[in-house]
Amino acid sequence: MKIRKGFVSNSSSSSFVCDICGNAESGYDASARDVGFLSCENGHSYCESHFEVDIGMKDRLVARLKKDAAELGIDEEMINDFITAWDEEQPTSEEAILELLENVTDSFEDLRYEGLAEMCPICSLQVITEDAIVSYIDKFVIKKVEVEAAIRSKVSTYEELCALVRK
């Protein structure tokens, strides 16, 4: 991790907020990775510590390679080699998986800059964000406006609300 401190000409401060835990980091001229974050092709950013190789990741990546085979210029045999290499290595880190992918093809965009959705905890539903949970509840359980009305009928200040919902 290299974060320059102090005045640096032509540099700008970049901030990143984790879409999973809300942790915020910033640095001058920093990429997400410089501040310990990973990003995905669908615009998610999250702390490296949330990255986890789950049971379905290999199958998701294989499906992605098959779907994009023509575009990536790869064939069935190369995909089978990826599966064999994965089974031999049993990768547990993001870096190990990127190396396996790079052995199959160099046609992906820079995966260290923007990871695949199949490896992202949010895109793969390893983690479901608070926003998504609230949207789900609003659609299928109880409307947000009804929750708001219920809250206002029970308490009259934010402080009372915090006390009410404290676990």
Rule CB under 5 A: which residues touch Zn ion?
Answer: 18, 20-21, 23, 40, 42, 44, 47, 120, 122-123
Encoded amino acid at 61, one letter: L
**In terms of CB distance, is 69 or 117 closer to Zn ion?**
117
Burial string for 111-145 (b: 16+ CB within 10 Å, else e) reads beebbbebbbbbbbebbeeeeeeeeeeeeeeeeee
Minimum separation from the CB atom of position 21 to Zn ion (A): 3
Minimum separation from the CB atom of position 93 to Zn ion (A): 17
Which sign, positive or negative, has the C-alpha torsion 77, 74, 55, 84?
positive
- Cβ-based neighbour number of residue 100 at 10 Å: 19
**In terms of CB distance, is 47 or 72 closer to Zn ion?**
47
**In terms of CB distance, is 23 or 105 closer to Zn ion?**
23
Minimum separation from the CB atom of position 119 to Zn ion (A): 8
